[in-house]
Chain A
Amino acid sequence: GAVVSQHPSWVICKSGTSVKIECRSLDFQATTMFWYRQFPKQSLMLMATSNEGSKATYEQGVEKDKFLINHASLTLSTLTVTSAHPEDSSFYICSAREQGAYNSPLHFGNGTRLTVT
């Protein structure tokens, strides 16, 4: 089945530094990838839609200058949390649909647990 690889699986960083999270579709091409954030015991909240070759679409309330998204190829999207602060500590999960399959299920990465000290 379709596999999405996310790296790193966990990261601890100091306040003010930036962290980059990678999301790769291993055996399929993904025109669109989605970035979610999940706080403990809460649901997944869509942060942004990453579009290959164009700008990401951010959900209301998500700062695009803080959460930089780059989708340089059909198999790779990156999320960079810039100038991270403790309130950015969360579980970040990427997901992808196979190219052209607009109603198909999402394939999720394993997630990245970010802790900002």
Chain B
Amino acid sequence: GQQVMQIPQYQHVQEGEDFTTYCNSSTTLSNIQWYKQRPGGHPVFLIQLVKSGEVKKQKRLTFQFGEAKKNSSLHITATQTTDVGTYFCAGTHNDYKLSFGAGTTVTVRA
């Protein structure tokens, strides 16, 4: 089936530093969504990108959708301990199914 690739799988960040997680699909996506899952919890919706080249910000989080609607990125600035968790991208293909990336698990050292 359709797949969305996400890297890196793990990201260990010094508090205050920035990091980026990337997603890529081999086919064009209708939209891409980002979710955050805290340890032991369930995924929580963060944002959805629909338009080619779209950029959205949520405080220290910047989400970008590529011009070809095949890739996306999440950039977090000035990482805090509250950013700990696994970030998943999920792409919607033409069949309306949502394909999740492998996730980027973020740990923060103070």
Contact = CB atoms under 8 A, between A and B. Distances in A.
Interface of A: 34, 41-46, 49, 59-60, 93, 102-111
A29 B44 CA distance: 19
Residue from A49, A60, A105 whose CB has the most chain B CB atoms within 10 Å:
A105
A93 B88 CA distance: 15
Interface string B13-52: 0000000000000000011010100000111110010100
Interface of B: 1, 30-31, 33, 35, 41-45, 48, 50, 88, 90, 92, 96-103, 105
A2 B45 CA distance: 11
29 contacts: A42-B102, A43-B88, A43-B100, A43-B101, A43-B103, A44-B43, A44-B100, A46-B97, A46-B98, A46-B99, A49-B97, A59-B1, A60-B1, A102-B96, A103-B30, A103-B31, A103-B48, A103-B92, A103-B96, A104-B48, A105-B45, A105-B48, A106-B43, A106-B45, A108-B42, A109-B42, A110-B42, A111-B41, A111-B42
B98 A106 contact: yes
A110 B43 CA distance: 8
A103 to B, nearest CB: 6
A51 B19 CA distance: 39
Given A43-B100, A46-B98, A102-B96, A108 B43 contact: yes
Contacts of A60: 1
